[in-house]
Chains A and B, each alone.
Chain A
Amino acid sequence: MLTLIRGSGCEVVEVDKSKVRKGMLSSLIPGLSSLSQRGLAGWLVVLGFIMVTSIVVVTAISPWVVPYNPSQINVGRPLLSPNSQFLFGTNNMGQDVFSRVLSGGGIMLEVSILSVMICLLIGVPIGLLSSYVGGIFDRFLCLIMDSIYAFPGLVLAIAIAAMLGRGVTNMAISIAVVYVPSYFRVIRSQVLSIKEMPYVEAAKAAGAKGRTVLSRYIFPNVVPSIVVVATVNFADAILTAAGLTFIGLGVPVDIPDWGWDLTNGSRLLSSGAWWVIAYPGLMIILLALGFTLMGEGLSEMANPRLRE
Chain B
Amino acid sequence: MTLRTYVISRILLTIPMIFILFTMVFLVIRVLPGDPVLLHFEKQENPAAMERMRHRLGLDKPLWIQYLDYVAGIFRGDLGESMVDYSPVAQQIISAFPATLELAIFSMVIAVSIGIFFGVEASKGYGKTRDNVIRVFGIVTYAIPVFFLGMVLQMVFGLGLHWFPVESRFPHGVDLPSGLAVGGVHFSTGLYTIDSLLEGNVYKFVVTLRGLALPSLTLGLVLSGVFIRLTRSNMFETLQLDYVTAARARGLSETSVTYGYALRNAFLPVLTMMGLQFATLLGGAILTETTFSWFGLGRYIVDRISSRDYTAIQGAVVFFGIFVSFVSLVVDLLYAYLDPRIRL
Contact residues of A with B, CB < 8 Å? 143-144, 146-148, 150-156, 158-160, 162-165, 235, 239, 242-243, 246-249, 262, 265-266, 269-270, 272, 274, 277-278, 281, 284-285, 288-289, 292-293, 296, 308
Contacts and interface: CB of A to CB of B under 8 A. Distances in A.
Contacts of A285: 140, 143-145, 148
B147 interface: yes
A239 B36 CA distance: 28
A278 B29 CA distance: 36
Secondary structure of the A side of the interface? helix
Interface string B317-343: 100110011001000000000000000
Contacts of B154: 269
Given A151-B324, A242-B145, A270-B159, 10 more contacts: A147-B17, A151-B21, A155-B283, A155-B286, A155-B317, A159-B29, A266-B147, A269-B154, A281-B145, A308-B127
A151 B321 contact: yes
- Give me the 7 closest cross-chain CB pairs, A-B, nearest first: A154-B283, A288-B143, A289-B143, A147-B20, A152-B279, A281-B148, A152-B283
Secondary structure of the B side of the interface? helix
Contacts, number: 143
Interface stretch (B45-53, B75-83, B300-308): B300-308
A154 B39 contact: no
B148 A284 contact: yes
Interface of B: 16-17, 20-21, 24-25, 28-29, 32-33, 36, 39, 126-127, 139-140, 142-148, 151-152, 154-155, 159, 166, 279-280, 282-284, 286-287, 290-291, 301-302, 305-306, 310, 313-314, 317, 320-321, 324-325, 328
Contacts of A308: 126-127
A242 B145 CA distance: 7
Given A159-B313, A281-B148, A164 B286 contact: no
A243 B147 contact: yes
Contact of A147 (B21, B126, B313): B21
Nearest to A155: B320
